[in-house]
Amino acid sequence: MIATPTTTVTILGSGEEESEYGDVLDSETPAGSGIPCSIVEGRQIVSTESDPQARAILYYTGRVPNGTVVDETNRLRDEKTGETYVIDHVTRPHNPVMSPDVRLDLRRVQ
């Protein structure tokens, strides 16, 4: 892993079960645990034409070792803090010289 890990995470499996109403339920089944991960919080000030009031938006970027099996249907649980993150996007950069980390765009869920 190239990035300095800030924690270890458990990868939670994708939702396969359905509720009695047909909604997909979030699975709590671990697909992997003890995976080193770097989670960094960022902040951006945004405003739109329809809402000129400036607002601070928090976003999170995660990095896991190359070869980690993870996609947008999974979630991450921080083993240190217990916080859960939804994965919005996975980027697997290509480099002919070395194996870069897998980059994850994350959202923290309450």
Domain annotation covers residue 2: no
How many separate domains does the chain show?
A: 1
Domain that holds residue 45: 7-109
CA torsion 20-21-22-27 (nearest 10°) is: -60
Bridge partners for 76 per DSSP: 11, 85
The span from the CA of 88 to the CA of 12, in Å, is 14
Domain annotation covers residue 28: yes
Domain annotation covers residue 22: yes
Domain annotation covers residue 20: yes
- pLDDT tens for the chain, 110 residues long, are 899 999 999 999 865 666 777 766 666 778 889 999 999 999 999 988 888 899 998 999 999 999 999 999 899 999 999 999 999 999 999 889 999 999 999 999 97
Listed residue (25, 9, 23, 12) closest to 79, CA to CA:
9
